[in-house]
């Protein structure tokens, strides 16, 4: 009985695992004034507290691939994507991952405030992003479907 209780407690505190191959659903995504990519994919390997992501994007702003690595313990993680250094902190916010990233793009300081949420069935990730810049703020939503 004690073992059953212990397992139920562990299940209650277990965090979602974002591992998998994911592809953007453009019909459910909203990039606001930014052009929607023609293709956006992520290959995520999530072994708590480490999250590794390989991404591919194609669209009006060109084509690129990037690899990044984060930890969910709130320590700063530094990645370079398209020759731009990005400093991020990642923490858990309930069952969602909260990622705050800072970078300089075309001479302007940008802050990306992301919330990654996995659906209950584990088949969809929703990324809600708030971008803050000297030119103002904008919001985006990316919906990714497990492949």
Task: State residue 12's pLDDT score.
Answer: 45
Terminal-to-terminal C-alpha distance of the chain: 39
In a domain, 53, yes or no: yes
In a domain, 1, yes or no: no
For residue 24, the number of C-alpha atoms closer than 13 Å in the C-beta half-sphere is 20
Judge whether 49 and 72 are in contact, CB under 8 Å: yes
The CATH number covering residue 91 comes to 2.40.128.20
Q: How far is CA 98 from CA 2, 73, 77, in A?
A: 34, 11, 13
Structural domain count, the chain: 1
Domain of 128?
Answer: 17-146
Task: State residue 80's pLDDT score.
Answer: 96
Alpha helices, H only, 1-147: 2-13
Q: Is the pLDDT of residue 62 over 60?
A: yes
Measured in degrees and rounded to the nearest 5, phi and psi for residue 76 equal: -65, 135
pTM for this model (two decimals):
0.89
The model's pLDDT over 107-120, given as tens digits with 9 standing for 90+, comes to 999 999 999 999 99
> How many separate helices (H) and strands (E) can be counted in the chain?
1, 10
Q: Is the pLDDT of residue 3 over 60?
A: no
């Amino acid at each position: 009985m004690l073992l059953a209780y212990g397992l139920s407690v562990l299940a209650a505190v277990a965090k979602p695992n974002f591992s998998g191959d994911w592809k953007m659903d453009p019909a459910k995504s909203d990039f606001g004034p930014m052009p929607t990519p023609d293709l956006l994919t992520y290959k995520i390997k999530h072994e708590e507290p480490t999250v590794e992501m390989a991404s591919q994007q194609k669209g009006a702003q060109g084509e690129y691939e990037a690899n990044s690595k984060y930890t969910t313990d709130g320590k700063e993680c530094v990645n370079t994507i398209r020759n731009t250094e990005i400093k991020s902190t990642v923490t858990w916010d309930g069952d969602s991952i909260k990622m705050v990233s800072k970078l300089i793009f075309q001479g302007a300081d940008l802050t990306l405030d992301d919330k990654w949420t996995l659906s209950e069935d584990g088949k969809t990730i929703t990324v809600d992003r708030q971008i803050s810049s000297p030119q103002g703020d904008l919001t985006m939503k990316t919906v990714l479907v497990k492949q």
